[in-house]
């Protein structure tokens, strides 16, 4: 009942990691591979390897997490080598691409194209944590230029990782841009709620070191915002699929994302905190909800949300 197809590939479960979480190197990726996840996605990569921002740069709180990692990654060649060695009969693999410039994204997707793999590209338009680099998806002209260039260079369907929006006019404008690009086959909603501030009152201090403590929120803080973004793009982009991401730590949360319109669902903060064993638990919790409600497949649930 948990199996589904997405971009022509079969997924035994709709669940996988949110990019950035437990996917930095081969050891972490292999742990995801060995887990009950339906897929896995690699850490957002840049052309060159990066060490990222100073630590502490991720902190969990009672309601979620805050991070400002700063795009530490091993460089796209490392993840492309992993994708070349991957056994696609085990589970599908996504590659997250987060170039620091349009030219960098073009160079990376050209190399991925030339490798001719079944790996699926998730183009990250929403990293909030590199000082001096605004989130591309908050600048609709920059987003349009990026998608025009990547669509022209890359010859396969790909997806985009989007930041949360908080205004109906922004949902309309973002969807209008995405709908100009048929190669954009899926939309992952949402990246972290950027540039929030968590404060420790005993120490009278911020909790992470980069950017004076400002960082992206995940976890319980973001679930309703994630659901709104999933549903907003599901309604506005009927030709595309939506991947839900944000605030998932139970089967009920996954079911909410499916109702809102998600085809697959990613797990971030809860995976970071609980480890890859979370996927077996979440699969069981989701299967129990489907059984109780009489659904034979997750595909029956997608977008079934009723309004009043």
| Residues in contact with ligand DHB by the rule CB under 6 A | 20, 44, 52, 68-71, 98, 124, 126-129, 191-192, 216
The strand pair at 120-124 and 93-97 is best described as: parallel
* Extended beta strands in 190-257, E state: 193-197, 199-200, 205-206, 214-218, 241-245
Q: CB-wise, 13 or 129, nearer to ligand DHB?
A: 129
Q: Residue 53 CB, nearest distance to ligand DHB (Å)?
A: 7
127 is catalytic: yes
**Which of 36, 6, 76 minimizes the C-alpha distance to 267?**
36
Which pair of tokens denotes residue 24? 């930095």
Side-chain-side CA neighbours of residue 55 (13 Å): 2
Q: Closest separation between CB of residue 98 and ligand DHB, Å?
A: 5
Distance, CA of 173 to chain centre: 21
User: Which contiguous run of DSSP H or E holds residue 176?
Assistant: helix 168-179
CB of 182 to ligand DHB, least distance (A): 24
Which of 179, 178, 190, 251 shows the shortest CA–CA distance to 225?
A: 190
If the CB atoms of residues 188 and 283 are measured against ligand DHB, the closer one turns out to be: 188
- The counts of H helices and E strands in the chain are 9, 16
Minimum separation from the CB atom of position 191 to ligand DHB (A): 5
Collapsing DSSP to helix, strand or coil, 45 comes out as strand
Of 52 and 157, nearer to ligand DHB (C-beta) is 52
Q: Out of 127, 189, 237, 245, pick the active-site residue.
A: 127
Q: Which is nearer to ligand DHB, 98 or 258 (CB)?
A: 98
Active site residues: 127
């Amino acid at each position: 009942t948990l199996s589904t197809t997405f971009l022509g590939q079969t997924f035994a479960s709709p669940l996988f990691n949110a990019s950035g979480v437990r996917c930095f190197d081969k050891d972490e990726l292999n742990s995801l591979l060995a887990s009950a996840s339906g897929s896995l996605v690699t850490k957002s990569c840049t052309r060159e390897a990066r060490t990222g921002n100073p630590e502490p740069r991720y902190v969990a709180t009672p309601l979620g997490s805050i991070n400002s990692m700063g795009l530490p990654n091993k460089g796209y060649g490392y993840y492309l080598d992993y994708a070349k060695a991957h056994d696609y009969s085990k589970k599908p693999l996504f590659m997250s691409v987060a170039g620091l410039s349009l030219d960098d994204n073009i160079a990376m997707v050209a190399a991925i194209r030339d490798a001719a793999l079944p790996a699926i590209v998730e183009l990250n338009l929403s990293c909030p944590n590199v000082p001096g680099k605004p989130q591309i998806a908050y600048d609709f002209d920059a987003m349009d230029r990026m998608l025009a260039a990547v669509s022209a260079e890359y010859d396969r369907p790909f997806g985009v990782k989007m930041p949360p929006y908080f205004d109906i006019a922004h949902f309309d404008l973002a969807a209008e841009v995405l709908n100009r690009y048929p190669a954009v086959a899926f939309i992952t909603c949402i990246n972290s709620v950027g540039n929030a501030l968590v404060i420790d009152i005993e120490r009278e201090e911020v909790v992470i070191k980069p950017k004076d403590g400002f960082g992206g929120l995940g976890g319980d803080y973001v679930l309703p915002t994630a659901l709104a973004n999933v549903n907003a793009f599901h309604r506005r982009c009927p030709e595309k699929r939506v991947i839900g991401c944000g605030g998932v730590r139970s089967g009920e949360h996954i079911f909410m994302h499916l109702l809102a319109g998600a085809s697959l669902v990613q797990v971030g903060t809860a995976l970071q905190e609980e480890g890859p064993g979370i996927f077996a638990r979440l699969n069981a919790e989701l299967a129990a909800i489907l059984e109780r409600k009489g659904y034979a497949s997750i595909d029956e649930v997608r977008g079934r949300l009723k309004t009043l």
